[in-house]
Every structure is written in structure tokens, then in C-alpha cells.
Amino acid sequence: MGCEERPVLDVFHQQIVSLKGLSELADIRAWTINSLMELFQLGSQQTQVQRAIDRALDYIREHYYRSDLSLNSVAEAVNLSPSYLGAQFKRHTGSTYISFLTTLRIEEAKRLLRSTDLSINYIAEKVGYPNVTNFYRHFQRLAGMTPAAYRKRETRPTGRKTDGMAEAAGLGKKG
């Protein structure tokens, strides 16, 4: 059961417990209406929180490269307090803000290492690490190897990939 369902079930359970003392039809009707309104309000609050988290995720994805991107700046951008955003972010994503941001930055660095010849220092800066030592430390922790080792493992020599096959088929020789 997900975290989102727990508050709804708690409210529902509390309402059922309070039903035991009701005997008149009017009381049961009022209880039912009240319970439905509370559940609707709780669901509406959760939807608003999810929308705020979605806005925060979008903001982070659009600005991950800024070295000054912080929980405070994201919270300000989505009009939430930093402590509330941090707690709700963890609850809805299963990850802390800093862990999410670090993973996003390292995944983008991996993409750049695989697809470009940019220097590692430049890539570090481009993904939000002005201090290359921090970049190396985070990269090593998440990827299990240095950026240079990752690039070497993930990239293949450029050149015509069919040369060996063409030569083996006798297409590469003239004569």
C-alpha cells in the first residue's frame, strides 16, 4: 500500500469507529455526508501536493545545471516552504531532494560522456558541479567508476563499422 492511501484509510477508519454510536437514520446520513466531504477534502489536498511536487520536479529538470540550485530555490519557485517541500518530495518520490538532483546530474554527465568528446571538467561544470572533485566523488559513488573509465567503457572507436564485414566478404579488395 502506497503512502498516499494511508491518510485516506486512517480518516475512513476513524469515521467507521465513530459510526458505532449512531442509531438514527438522520445521524447515519449526516455521518455519511461528513465522511465523504472529509475524504474528498483529503484527496483534494493530496492532489494539490502532488501537483506542487510535479512542478518542483519539472523545475529541477529544467535547472539541474545551475550550481546554486537548492531546495530553498526550488521551494521558492513552487511557493512552498523548504521543509514542507523536502518532506513531501521524499514522501512522493521516495528520494531526498539532494539524492534526486545528484542522480539527475550524474545521469546527464553519463549521457555527455557517451555522446560527446567534451572534457570531463567541462561536463562537470555543465551539469552543475563547479568543483570537479565533488563531481568525481559523486560520479564514482553512483557509477562505480571514474568518469574517464566510464567514457572508455561506454564509447567505441569511431570509424566505419562495416569495414571488417566488407573485407571479410571480399568487398573491400579490388583486383
Q: What would the DSSP string read from start to end of 2-29?
A: -TTHHHHHHHHHHHHHHHTT--SHHHHH
Q: What pLDDT is recorded for position 20? A: 62
Q: Check residue 30 and give its pLDDT.
A: 73
pLDDT at res. 42: 60
User: On the CB side of 131, how many CA atoms lie within 13 Å of its CA?
Assistant: 5
Domains for the chain: give ranges and CATH numbers.
96-155 (1.10.10.60)
Q: Give the pLDDT confidence of 5-39 residue by residue, as tens digits.
A: 566 667 666 666 666 665 666 766 676 777 777 76
